[in-house]
Amino acid sequence: MNILVCISNVPDTTTKVTFNANNTQFNTAGVQFIINPYDEIALARAIELTDGGKGAVTVIHVGEAANEPTIRKALAIGATDAVRVNAPAHDAYFVAVQIAEYVKQHPFDLILTGRESIDYNGSKVAAMLGELLDIPSVSIIKKLDVDGANGTVEREIEGGKEVLTIPLPFVAGTAEGVAEPKIPNMRGIMSARTKPLTVVEPVEVKASSEIISYETPAPRGQVKLIPADDVAKLVDLLHNEAKVI
């Protein structure tokens, strides 16, 4: 079984977010980038499914050469080989088209993504890939198993769980619970240096979106403590100061 895992390069969760170029670009100065945590879950499950010679895991990333340390980490964790589409990730549609074009030329039995990237939280790529490749797609799965020519996924729905059996190939967006992220060991780190990393040029895609500007959340205001028995004062503040009632 050949599995493709789509990975993105995101700022570390402790990053202090700032913008430049008149608030139209993310300021990358001094920022440490990591594999998107949800993509790490997908990678860990792919490695588990192919462990013991049961298949191969390819990771694919749409991004520039500066992102290759992130790709090498995925190889150190256990991916067999990697592909980098040599273009900045303009938006989710651009990324999905680039990955789909590669898959059309190099078919896979299973395509995994994270449920979303932690920088944009779009949850779009998995669904777009399914549409572009004309194969089933299911997002935010909590469990994934493969038996022969079919996969079984589990999703949380309101009031319970949904279990689906889907014929291969399909696309799945993984969430917490599918697998535990793996930490690369020294052997993996050393072998990652020599594992294949293929660079392919992007296909032309007309821009479908444009970022006008970014805004940071408003600073948190001061907290006022009201005695539990002073309901009248609480109502007065909510009505006249906060103006929420």
pLDDT digits (tens, 9 = 90+) for 142-155: 999 999 999 999 99
Please state which of the four CATH numbers 3.40.190.10, 3.40.50.620, 3.40.50.720, 3.40.640.10 is assigned to the domain occupying 2-215: 3.40.50.620
At residue 217, does pLDDT exceed 90? Answer: no
Q: How confident is the model at residue 156 (pLDDT cuts 50, 70, 90)?
A: very high
What pLDDT does residue 219 have? Answer: 82
- Mean pLDDT, residues 61-77 taken together: 96
Does residue 211 register a pLDDT over 90? no
Q: How far is Cα 149 from Cα 98, in angstroms, rounded to an integer?
A: 26
**Summary mean pLDDT of the chain:** 94
pLDDT bucket at 134, cuts 50 / 70 / 90: very high
Helix axes of 92-105 and 125-133: crossing angle, nearest 10 degrees = 40
In percent, the amount of the chain with pLDDT more than 90 equals 78
Give me the residue spans of the domains in the chain. Answer: 2-215
Whether 98 has a pLDDT exceeding 90, the answer reads yes
Cα separation, 219 vs 110, in Å, equals 44
User: Which DSSP category does 65 fall into?
Assistant: G
Whether the predicted pLDDT of 25 surpasses 90: no
State the average pLDDT over residues 42-53: 96
pLDDT digits (tens, 9 = 90+) for 5-18: 999 999 998 888 88
223 pLDDT higher than 90: no
Model pLDDT, residue 29: 87
